[in-house]
Amino acid sequence: MTIRQYLMRRCNRAVTGTIAFLVVAGALVSSGPRVFVIRFALAVVITAVVAAAIWSLFEIPCPNCRKPMGRVGFWVANGRMERTAPRCPHCNVTVDEEVPGAPHD
Ligand SMILES: [Zn+2]
């Protein structure tokens, strides 16, 4: 597995988790009491969770140096850098290198 595949897997997991959360939250909103304060609180929680999911993609640790990969990790995880091989801003490893210590597949 390359670092690129590792980043994209992390992204898929974050997206799947967020969608599952939104489905549950949507069911709660539609079945819950029609009280403005409760709906407002749920909206705030939903926004916070979605923001945290996006933010977590900026904080994916580099498998080589364990520091957050920031913008590079975010764009690679989203599959937006297919034609280039960006490097970790901290240890300069390229995303097309194998994840150290991971089993090959
Ligand atoms: Zn690194």
Q: Is residue 45 within 8 Å of residue 25, measured between CB atoms?
A: yes
Residue 55 C-beta-side C-alpha neighbours within 13 Å: 6
> In this model, does residue 104 exceed pLDDT 80?
no
CB within 5 A of ion ligand 1: which residues? 62, 64-65, 88, 90-91
Of the pLDDT bands very low, low, confident and very high (cuts 50, 70, 90), residue 14 is: very high
- Residues 27-54, mean pLDDT to the nearest whole number: 91
- Residues 51-60, mean pLDDT to the nearest whole number: 96
pLDDT digits (tens, 9 = 90+) for 68-89: 999 999 999 999 998 999 999 9
In angstroms, what is the span from residue 69 Cα to ligand 1's centroid?
A: 7
pLDDT at 101: 77
> In this model, does residue 16 exceed pLDDT 90?
yes
In angstroms, what is the span from residue 42 Cα to ligand 1's centroid?
A: 37
- Residues 3-29, mean pLDDT to the nearest whole number: 95
In angstroms, what is the span from residue 94 Cα to ligand 1's centroid?
A: 9
Structure tokens at 100: 């150290």
Q: Which DSSP string do the residues of 71-91 spell out, in sequence order?
A: HHHHHHHTT--TTS--B-TTT
Averaged confidence pLDDT in the chain: 93
In angstroms, what is the span from residue 11 Cα to ligand 1's centroid?
A: 18
pLDDT at 102: 64
In angstroms, what is the span from residue 17 Cα to ligand 1's centroid?
A: 26
In angstroms, what is the span from residue 53 Cα to ligand 1's centroid?
A: 21
